[in-house]
Structure 1
Amino acid sequence: MGKWKIVCFLSLLSILTYFSGKVALKGEEILRIHIIANSNNPKDQFVKYLVRDRVLKEYSQELKNLKGIKEIEKFIGNNLQDIEDLAGNVLIENGLAYGAHGELGNFDFPTRLYLDTVYPKGQYKALKIILGEGKGDNWWCVMFPPLCLVGEIEEKGVFAEPSGEIEDVEVEYEYFILNLLKKIIEFIKKIFS
């Protein structure tokens, strides 16, 4: 009976993993925005999100109106200095003088799940914004197709002004695989109880 449970568990795990999201196709035109924090200090991590919010808020309407990845790349290339300046201004407003650097190019990324799509390890076009030394955790999303520029971002309060002191911010991490395993275990308990 024990082997049967293991086979069921592994089969269920395979099915749930397969249906939990789609895989981005090789060669599919994808452009990411990738923001790398100066460090993992809570203030540096918090300001990374402020930079994200400001950049997306400032440029989301223009980017939504562009057709295709080539137009978006051209727009970003023409506005790269303004994007760097905008990010630098957010840092200055928050008492950080280490500056920001922007790059548009092809960069290596590990396998990641974003919304319902798995993006396999590989090189992807990206607007990379490096804050200070760029040694902290990063944030990214897909700019094209415009997954991080959709209207629901504003509805969820992504662009809301922060409240409280930056030092009081706690970072909470979630792990996709652990959450999936918890759901699978709960499901199996229901089946066998």
Structure 2
Amino acid sequence: MLQDYEITNLTNLKPNKWMDRLMVVIEFILVLFLIQSALMLFTGQAGQEDEIRFRILSHSNAPADQKLKEEIRHAIEPMINQAISRAESKAEIVDNLKAIEATVLATAKSMADGQDVSFERTAALFPPKRSGLVITPQAPYDAYILTIGSGRGDNWWCSLFPRVCFPDKDVDKKEDEKVTFFIWEWIKSLFD
């Protein structure tokens, strides 16, 4: 004969609060991963490989060398922006930039007070950069490198797009604000 088993009514079981809270946190983290994956798909890294970046290396970190680097950047920036704005494809951008290489080099040499200046297109290693929701990984990118003197000073870099190109103007204002993370505060409140 078969033994009789007692059937437990599942509605009478007391829920474990810790387990419920843990499941909520795990589900929330999974949703965040899904959102991040979707954002990466739609904002994606597409086109990052097609960008042409620019880097200016100063002779040293001395204030005079850094100032010279900034002056040269201000002088050549309109030429580069004009060459880029007139193009509709990467091939046209490359052709337009190739056409102004001599002018950019001559302008930089005239401002460099006799220092050696070189301007070449090469694959250059760029550090990671975040712009909005897009994070550009550290990797070698197609770039024009303008080197003043020994090129051992801090560098300045940019890509074709102004949001990635230039630092945010409001960075100094944001440093004064205390940063709190809503998600972290919410998770802490679940376990209090």
TM-score norm. by structure 1 comes to: 0.61
Contact 1:36 1:139 in 2 (8 A): yes
Q: Quote how far apart the aligned CAs of 1:70 are.
A: 1.5
Verify: 1:183 aligned to 2:187, yes or no.
no
Which of 98, 114, 119 is equivalent to 1:102? 119
Which structure is richer in relative contact order (CA contacts within 8 A, separation 6 or more)? Answer: 1
Normalised to the residue count of structure 2, the TM-score between the two structures is 0.61
Q: Aligned pair in 2 of structure 1 residues 148, 91: CA closer, same or farther (>3 Å)?
A: farther
1:147 partnered with 2:147: no
Residue 87 (str. 1) matches residue 108 (str. 2):
yes
Distance 1:71 1:44, change over 3 A: same
**Unmatched segments (≥5 aa) in structure 1:** 157-172
Percent identity over paired residues: 21
Bigger radius of gyration among the two: 2
Q: Secondary structure at the match of 1:184?
A: coil
Count of equivalent residues: 155
Q: Distance in 2 between matches of 1:141 and 1:48?
A: 14
Mapping for residues 1-193 of structure 1, pairs under 5 Å:
24-25=45-46, 28-92=49-113, 97-114=114-131, 117-143=134-160, 146-147=161-162, 183-184=179-180
Amino acid at match of 1:184: T
User: Unaligned regions of 5+ residues in structure 2, if any?
Assistant: 1-17
Secondary structure class of the residue paired with 1:108: strand
Instruction: Give the whole-Å Cα distance in 1 for the aligned partners of 2:45 and 2:154.
Output: 23
RMSD: 3.9
